Amino acid sequence: MHDIKASEALDLWEQAGLIDHIKAGQLAQYLDEHAPSRSSGRMVRIVSVFGAVLVGVGMILFVASHWTGMSASLRIATLFLAYAGVVGAAQFSGLRGYDRIAHALWFLATLTVGAYIFLVGQIFNFSLTFWQGPFIWLLATLAMGYALNSRLHAWLAIPLALLALGWFGGGKAWFSDDQLEALFGSYGLKPLLPLLGLALVAVALLVERLPNWRFATGTWIVWGALLISVPLVVATIDDDVLKFLIQIDFTSKQWSIIAFSFGLVGLALWLGRFTSPRSRLLMVLVAGLLFGMLFLGDIERASLMPVYALFVLLVFLLSLGLIWNGVQAGRPALVNIGVGSAASVILIQYFSWSMRLLDRSLAFIIGGVVLIALSIWIEKQRRRLLARITR
Amino acid sequence: MSRKLMLAVGIQVLVMGLVLVQPLLVRATGTIVFLETEKMDPRSLFRGDYVILGYTLAQNILPADQASEAAGKFTPVYVTVSTERPASFVAVGFEPPQLKPDQACIVGRSRGRVRWISRKSLSISSPRAPDMQSRAPAARISWPRWRHRITARLCCWGWNPGEFVSANAADLQSPHYRPQFCHTPPLSPRKVI
């Protein structure tokens, strides 16, 4: 079938003389009454989710402003009541047929569980790297996501999983109470983020085989692609940045993550659903690149430059591979991420080289022209590719 | 409500109950110790002007080389204290101690060399989380309220005294912050700000 708006189809048929103007009007009216447009539904969903998040933030602020005046048991009771109220409202909305609003309220219920966990953590002075908090919140999120087949819950699950994994085992720095060390320290997740992204893609390909979990596939593939591409593109800024991002201590936790991630990739290559053998090959190549990157940290500063140049080239090729894979798999989000990554690599390289080789004013003028030309070309290509997907 | 949705709500309620089990169990069955505290650092990245409290008796109880080594290897440090009020230091080691009836053990971690504390110090981290190596500082109190010396009441918990398993802390004590909690009376007030 052609992917075309109903109004455009009616116009086409009217112009071709297949239906007259009155009939076209009747058909349009029937569609309005019996099949409301998806865009308005999506709008309702976005607005209601945004509303749910605002209510959640408001609840936390309300509780926080009265926090010191409440006893521990009253605080816990208040949080429980808030959860019960949200669940009741979600159920009521569902029964009245407001499915999208009910969906948003179920999401709010899951956010309330998270707020509850961390406010209880505050009551009892839990550690600020309280990894059990995001972990059990993750379980609660996955349970609700599974029950509702909710992509929103699948989306929330990934930062929670990263937080639980990062905080697991604690850290070593005092500054910021170790909370950010899990992400920025060389013993934390920082050098492993692209690998974790690949593992997430592997999980997504595996869960696609499970009908009840298929709802999460697209969301997790996009998350995985972002986790791979963002650190890699950032690492192309400079060889110092590359060095900083790949510096790894090889702690036992990091080795466990590496082994587990490659295990998942192997399992996905064996059992996962790929659109073509080339997609499988792309995954092997990315896994190889990421494995090689783990050992770049040991390279001496002086001999890093050629490795950096090769790295930039590989990241660019990987971005093109991501675009191709997005087209093959019919996933516009992957095309967008790939286009964004490729464009970022080109721009980063342009500015880093032009500033060295050209007069500054000339660099900016040429840079501006290049930017405009590049954006026109990218937008054309992106539209062409997306049209190919939706055709 | 579908069966799957009911199950999901049940899991969420279970999770909410689960968070309470450990701290309530510790409070019900743990041994109370009272530790004097001192201001370690007035700032938190996320909370602004807050005071991080360190335990006074925890400072300089490890030799410098051992403190650095333990910090580098994340080795848990077992500090034995008395249960009198305020607690006094008994022993420190890297193995779980054999406790006498009037003693308790707190698991902490050596800070080693840190950015703004020049001395080698051992700061006993908040041992409330189930893992024994939790790292966060013990307690926080709003900066303007820091007027008096504060004693922290910790609730230490082990499966049996011979084989110490874990330690858990309870409430921060301050007459200004939470008047219902106990405060070590004979201590002379000192102005910190």
Q: Which of A58-72, A126-140, B162-176 has the lowest mean pLDDT?
A: B162-176
Contact by Cβ (8 Å): A84, B12: no
CB contact under 8 A, A144 and B130: no
**Residue listed under structure tokens 């790292």:** B135
The predicted complex's ipTM stands at 0.74
For residue range A52-95, list pLDDT tens digits in order.
777 777 776 776 666 666 777 888 888 888 899 889 988 888 88
8 Å CB contact of A180 and B137:
no
Tell which phi-psi region holds residue A177, choosing left (phi > 0), alpha (psi between -120 and 50) or beta: left
Cα-based angle A250, A195, A110 (whole degrees, multiple of 5): 110
Is B12 in contact with A132 (Cβ distance < 8 A)?
no
pLDDT band at B37 (very low <50, low <70, confident <90, very high): low
Interchain contact B176–A (C-beta under 8 A): no
Q: pLDDT-derived band of residue A275, with 50, 70 and 90 as boundaries?
A: confident
| B190 at A interface, C-beta within 8 A | no
Q: Which amino acid is at A238?
A: D
Given this model, what pLDDT does residue A10 score? 81
Q: Which of residues 157-186 of A touch B (CB under 8 A)?
A: 169-172, 174-180
Contacts of A139 in chain B (CB under 8 A): 11, 15
> Does A113 contact B at CB distance below 8 Å?
yes
Residue A162, both tokens: 């990263």
Question: With an 8 Å Cβ cutoff, is B61 touching chain A?
Answer: no
Q: Please report residues of A whose CB lies closer than 8 A to that of B74.
A: 169-170, 172
Give the model's pLDDT for residue B118: 28
The more confident residue out of A382 and B157 is A382
Per residue in B111-133, pLDDT (tens digit) is 654 333 323 334 443 333 222 22
Beta bridge partners of A81: none
Portion of chain B with pLDDT greater than 90, in percent: 6
| Residue numbers in A near B133 (CB within 8 A) | 169-170
Option in A127, A147, A171 nearest B5 (CB): A147
What DSSP letter does each residue of A77-126 carry, written as one string?
A: HHHHHHHHHHHHHHHHHHHTT-HHHHHHHHHHHHHHHHHHHHHHHHHTT-
Best A177, A183, A213 member to test B by mutation, with max B CBs in 10 Å, is A177
Q: Which of B8, B46, B126 sits opposite A143 (nearest CB)?
A: B8
**For chain A, what is the largest distance between any 2 Cα atoms, rounded to a whole number of angstroms?**
77
Banded pLDDT at A311 (limits 50, 70, 90): confident
Average pLDDT of A335-345? 88
> pLDDT at residue B177 above 50?
no
What's residue B178's pLDDT?
A: 30
Angle at which helix A99-123 crosses helix A151-167, to 10 degrees, equals 20
- What is the rounded average pLDDT of the residues B85-95? 80
